[in-house]
Amino acid sequence: MSRLDTRLNKLKEHLKEEHTIFPEIVDSFRLLDKVAYKLGFLSPDESYATRLSWWPMISVLGAYSSGKSTFINHYLKHDLQQTATQALDDKFTVICFSSDDQIKTLPGIALDADPRFPFYRISRDILELTAENDQRIDAYLQLKTCPSEQVRGKILIDSPGFDADRQRSSTLRLTEHIIALSDLVLVFFDARHPEPGTMRDTLKHLVANTIERPDSNKFLYILNQMDITTREDNPEEVVAAWQRSLAQAGLTTGRFFRIYNPERCIPIKETPITERINKKCQADLKEIHERMGTIGRERAYRVIGMLEEAAKKLEYTIVPQLQDLIQEWKKMVYWTELGVVTFLAIFGGLWLATTQMSIPDLSQPLTFKIFSSLLIVSMIFLHLKICSMVRERMLKHIRTTITEEFTRDGIMRAFRKNTSSWRALLILFIHQPVGWGKKMRKQIGEILNNVNQYVEQLNDSFTNPSGTVKEYNEKS
C-alpha cells in the first residue's frame, strides 16, 4: 500500500467518527483521482482529498489575558486550557475531538506530520521564512484531544497572546497561516484595557491585514470581560472607545460583540443600565456559540461542493483545454515539418545541382536498403525532435499564461504525458487526451451522481420532516 493510501485510510478512519458520510466522500475523491492520474493531471502521489482541510477551523486570537482560554474552556465544558492573568502559553494549541475520555496532549510534530490536520508540513514553511534558532515545530504547536461534543467535527485553536516586542516571526507566520485556513476567527479584546495604546499591537498584527480580505465576514471582534467594565460605571464609554479604535484602524465593517464569561464574572449590582448590558452580553455570547456550532454543518456541504467543482472542472475545463492544446501541438508539428521538408527539398536540390555531387545508385538493392533505412531513421529522429521542440515551446507558454498553480502544474504534467515520444510516433491517430472517452465520462458522471446523494443524505441527517435540526454529529 502506498504512503498516500495509508494517509487516506487514516483520514477515513478519523472522519468516520464525525459523520458516516465522510469516508464515502473520500472514496469519491479517490475515484476522481484515478481519472486525473490517467489524464496525467495529478501525479500519483497527489490526491484531491488532501487538497482540502476536512475540518472546519475556528481560531481564537487576541491579546494576552483577554480571556481566550477561559472562553474556550467554557465552550467545551472542559477544563482543557490553563488560564491565568499572566502570559502562560506561548504555543498554539490545536484542539480536536476524540471519543477517548481522557484529554491527551501531543507535541506539535504530531500535527506537522499528519496530513489530516491543516498544519501538515507547516514547519517547512516556517523554516523557510524565519532565521531563528528554535526551529522545532514543537516550540510553536501542540495538539490536545478532548471528548467534548462541542468540538466534534471541527478544530479549535487557542493562541498565545500578542506581545509585539517578544513576537517571533515564526509565531506571526503561523498566525497568518491559521487565519488563512480558518472558517471563523474570533479576535479577543480586553475590556479592561480598551484604550488605543494597548490595542494597537493586536490591531496591527491581527486586524490591519484583514480589512481588505474577501473573507472578512469570518472575523468576529469580541470585547471580553465586560463584567469588570460594567462594575465601573462607564461601560458604554468603554464600548464606544473600543469601536472608535477599531474604526481608526480602518475596521468599520464586521461583527462586533461584547461578552463576559458567565463562570468567571464578578457579580454586579442590578441597575437598568447593567441589566441592559448583561442582556446584550448574553445575547452576543449565544450568537457567537451559534456561529461556532453551525460551522461544521457548513463545512460538510462545502466539502461536497468542492468534490462537485473538481469533477466538473476536470470534465468541462481541463479536458477541453487539453484537447485544444493537443490539436495546437499537432498543427504546429505539421507546419514545422512542412517547413523543414520544403526547406530541405529546395536547398538540398540546389546544393546537389550546384555541387554536382554524384548520387548513389539506388537500383542496387543493398544501396537502396541502406539509403532508405537511413532516411527513415533520420526522418523519425527529426519528427521526434520537432515534436519535443514544439512541446517545450508550448509548455513555456502554458507556464506564463495559467496563473493558478494547481491547474498550471496539472495541465503541464498532462500535456507532457499527452505529447510523449510514443504519442508523437502515432501523432496522426491522436485525437483525444490519454484515456479520455466514454468510460471516463461515465466515471465522472458517477461522481456527480454521488454528490447529489451526499447532499440528500446530509439534508436528512440535519433536518427531519418536521423541520427540527438534529445534531451535526448524529450518525445516520
Ligand X SMILES: Nc1nc2c(ncn2[C@@H]2O[C@H](COP(=O)(O)OP(=O)(O)O)[C@@H](O)[C@H]2O)c(=O)[nH]1
Query: From the CB of 458, what's the least distance to ligand X, in Å?
Result: 35
**Count of residues of this chain found to bind Mg ion when the rule CB under 5 A is applied:** 2
In the bound state with ligand X, the residue whose beta carbon lies nearer, of 15 and 60, is: 60
Closer residue to ligand X (CB): 164 or 379:
164
On whether the CB atoms of residues 220 and 187 are closer than 8 A, the answer is yes
CB of 61 to ligand X, least distance (A): 9
Contact present, 93 and 144 (Cβ < 8 Å): yes
Nearest in space to 304 (alpha carbons), one of 424, 181, 447: 447
CA 152, CA 146: separation in Å to the nearest integer? 9
- The pair phi, psi for residue 419, each rounded to 5°, is -120, 30
List residues bridging with 143 in a β-sheet: 94, 106
Residue 70: CB minimum distance to ligand X, A? 3
163/337 with CB nearer ligand X: 163
| 228 interface partner picked from ligand X, Mg ion, none, CB below 5 to 8 A per type | ligand X
**Considering the rule CB under 6 A, would residue 161 count as an interface residue with ligand X?**
yes
What residues between 81 and 110 interact with Mg ion by CB under 5 A? 89
Contact between 28 and Mg ion (CB under 5 A)?
A: no
- Using the minimum distance from each CB to ligand X, give the nearer residue, 78 or 264: 264
Interaction residues for ligand X, span 240-269 (CB under 6 A): 260-261, 264-266
Task: Indicate the residue among 75 and 119 with the shorter CB distance to ligand X.
Answer: 75
Nearest CB to ligand X, comparing residues 18 and 284:
284
DSSP three-state, residue 436:
coil
**Residue 157: beta bridge partners?**
59, 94
Rounded to a whole number of angstroms, the minimum distance from the CB of residue 67 to Mg ion is: 8
Distance between CA atoms of 56 and 156, rounded to whole angstroms?
9
Work out what residue 321 binds among ligand X, Mg ion, none; the CB cut-off runs from 5 to 8 Å by kind. Answer: none
Does position 227 interact with ligand X (CB under 6 A)? The reply is: yes
Please state the closest distance from residue 74 (CB atom) to Mg ion, in A. 13
Please choose which of Mg ion, ligand X, none residue 67 contacts, taking the beta carbon within 5 to 8 angstroms, the exact cut-off set by kind.
Answer: ligand X
The reply to whether 150 sits near ligand X by the rule CB under 6 A is no
Taking CB under 6 A as the criterion, the residue among 9, 51, 77, 84 binding ligand X is 84
Q: For ligand X, which residue of 25, 178, 207, 228 counts as binding (CB under 6 A)?
A: 228
For residue 95, list its beta bridge partners. 144, 156
Q: Is 229 in the site for Mg ion (CB under 5 A)?
A: no
Q: Which stretch binds ligand X (CB under 6 A): 41-49, 67-75, 271-279, 403-411?
A: 67-75
Tell me if 91 sits within 8 A of 174, measured CB to CB.
Answer: no
- The residue within the footprint of ligand X, chosen from 50, 53, 70, 93 (CB under 6 A), is 70
Among ligand X, Mg ion, none, the one that 150 touches (CB under a kind-dependent 5 to 8 A) is none
**Least distance (Å) between residue 458 CB and Mg ion:** 35
Residue tagged 466538473 (cell numbers): 312
How many residues lie near ligand X (CB under 6 A)?
A: 20
Q: Report the residue closest to Mg ion, judged by CB.
A: 69
Task: Spell out the alpha helix ranges (H) of 108-168.
Answer: 108-112, 122-129
User: What DSSP string runs through 300-359?
Assistant: HHHHHHHHHHHHHHIIIIIHHHHHHHHHHHHHHHHHHHHHHHHHHHHHHHHHHHHHTPPP
Q: How far is the CB of 267 from ligand X (least distance, A)?
A: 10
Taking CB under 5 A as the criterion, the residue among 47, 53, 66, 69 binding Mg ion is 69
Report whether 196 contacts 238 (CB < 8 A): no
> Which residue number is nearest to ligand X in terms of Cβ?
67
Stretch near ligand X under the rule CB under 6 A, chosen from 59-67, 287-295, 343-351, 355-363: 59-67
* Phi, psi dihedrals of residue 111, rounded to the nearest 5°: -80, -35
96 within 8 A of 145, measured Cβ to Cβ: yes
Based on C-alpha coordinates, what's the Rg of the chain?
Answer: 31
Closest approach of ligand X to the CB of residue 62, in Å: 6
Triad 187, 103, 125: Cα angle to 5° = 50
Whether 158 contacts 69, CB under 8 Å = yes
In the list Mg ion, ligand X, none, the entry touching 65 (Cβ below 5 to 8 angstroms by class) is: ligand X
| CB nearer ligand X, residue 151 or residue 387 | 151
Q: Is 59 in the site for ligand X (CB under 6 A)?
A: no
Q: What is the rounded distance in angstroms from the CA atom of residue 38 to the CA atom of residue 176?
A: 36
- Residue 472 burial class via C-beta count within 10 angstroms: exposed 0-12, middle 13-18, buried 19 and up: buried
Picked from Mg ion, ligand X, none, the partner binding residue 245 (CB below 5 to 8 A depending on kind) is none
User: Max alpha carbon distance in the chain (Å)?
Assistant: 118
| Using rule CB under 6 A, residue 224 touches ligand X | yes
By CB under 6 A, tell whether 67 contacts ligand X: yes
CA angle 233, 235, 238 (to 5 degrees): 125
CB of 205 to ligand X, least distance (A): 15
Measured distance CA(3)–CA(44) in Å, rounded = 11
CA atoms of 460 and 470, how far apart (whole Å): 9
* Total residue length of the chain: 476
What residues make contact with Mg ion under the rule CB under 5 A? 69, 89
What residues make contact with ligand X under the rule CB under 6 A? 64-70, 83-85, 161, 224-225, 227-228, 260-261, 264-266
